[in-house]
Amino acid sequence: MKLTIGHLYPDLLNLYGDRGNIACLMKRCIWRGIEAETIEFNTGDQIDFSKLDIVLLGGGSDREQAIVCKSLLEIQSEFKDYVEDGGVVIAVCGGYQLLGKYYKTDAGMIEGLNLVDIYTEQEEGRLIDNIVLDSELVDMPIVGFENHGGRTYLNGNKPFGKVLYGAGNDGKSGYEGVVYKNVIGTYLHGPLLPKNPQVSDYLIRKALERKYGGEVILTPLDDSQEKEANDYIYHRFVKE
């Protein structure tokens, strides 16, 4: 079996080491004998979504988001078809915000991909902290850090998780991120996937099931170090 990962606009959406999510997905496939390849797409590159199994959009400052949104709008309809066909996407922070209808900033409106019916508006002050979630997608708490000025509103879509510590989508709703079909949008940097191996495996499983059919049971890996770190953070910030 083989998975191809598309890393979109690493030249612009590259905040806080989000490319570490790619390295984690690659390794957790290769360690299981699943062939894995990553293709980077920069502004102006043609993207054939039919060749991709997982797509990553990383974080970015408002300035980079305004630049990259022009390229994203050029691929909007193919990207939409990929998502509606169950294509797997992991979008972090700025990348997450660009999945929605728009991101309204103090400097102006950034048009989004409109792949998920959400929207983001900048409000006073930044939401910066460690963050811990409880998500029904996995049984371990999900840990990371957030740093965003935008507040994202879900319009009734399913959240990625319930906030146990931190701000989340808007610092008020008590929820973080979004799940739509096989798309996860989240504010969690860390990077997210190395810190949360079960989320990484969730994405790999969904991509393999879409590509090869049937139910995929992944060979377990030794995640004891991640679990130990995860437990520490959970007890440090949630169960003090």
Ligand X SMILES: NC(=O)CC[C@H](N)C(=O)O
**Which residues sit in the known binding site for substrate?**
126
Catalytic residue among 29, 69, 93, 148: 93
**Among 106, 119, 107, 231, CA closest to 169:** 119
**Binds ligand X by CB under 6 A, chosen from 7, 29, 60, 199:** 60
Binding letters toward ligand X, positions 144-163, x by CB under 6 A: ---xxxx-------------
CB of 21: closest distance to ligand X in angstroms?
13
Q: Which two tokens stand for residue 13?
A: 């959406």
Q: Is 69 a catalytic residue?
A: no
Minimum distance from CB of 124 to ligand X (Å)? 13
Tell me which stretch binds ligand X (CB under 6 A): 2-10, 55-63, 72-80, 172-180: 55-63
DSSP annotation string for 182-194: TEEEE--BS-HHH
Tokens of 235: 């007890």
Among 29, 52, 55, 62, binds ligand X (CB under 6 A): 62
Tell me the CA end-to-end span of the chain in Å, nearest whole number: 44
Binding-site member from 6, 19, 34, 59 for ligand X (CB under 6 A): 59
Which residue's structure tokens are 């991101």?
103
Residues 84-123 touching ligand X, rule: CB under 6 A, are 93-94, 97
Interface segment toward ligand X; rule CB under 6 A; list 54-62, 136-144, 157-165, 206-214: 54-62
Q: Which helix (H) or strand (E) holds 37?
A: strand 35-41
Q: Which residues contact 45 (CB under 8 A, 6 or more apart)?
A: none
- Feature table: binding site: 126
Q: Is 200 one of the binding residues for ligand X (CB under 6 A)?
A: no
Which single residue brings its beta carbon nearest to ligand X? 59
Task: Considering the complex, state which of residue 65 and residue 196 has its C-beta at the smaller distance from ligand X.
Answer: 65
Residues touching ligand X, count (CB under 6 A): 13
Measured CA to CA, the distance from residue 57 to residue 90 in angstroms comes to: 7
- To the query of whether residue 189 is one of the catalytic residues in this protein, the response is yes
The CB-of-110 to ligand X minimum distance in angstroms stands at: 9
Residue 215, both tokens: 């139910």
Read off the amino acid at residue 169.
N
Task: Pick the closer one to ligand X by CB: 6 or 150.
Answer: 150
At its nearest, how many Å lie between ligand X and the CB of residue 58?
A: 8
- For 98-166, the DSSP string reads TTSSEEEETTEEEE---SSS-EEEEEEEEEEEEEEEE-TT-SSPEEEEEEEEEEEE-TTPBPSEEEEES
CB of 32: closest distance to ligand X in angstroms? 30
Q: What is the spatial order of strands in the sheet that 2-8 belongs to?
A: 35-41, 2-8, 54-57, 88-92, 183-186, 178-180
The contact set with ligand X (CB under 6 A) reads 15, 59-62, 65, 93-94, 97, 147-150
Q: Catalytic amino acids?
A: 93, 189
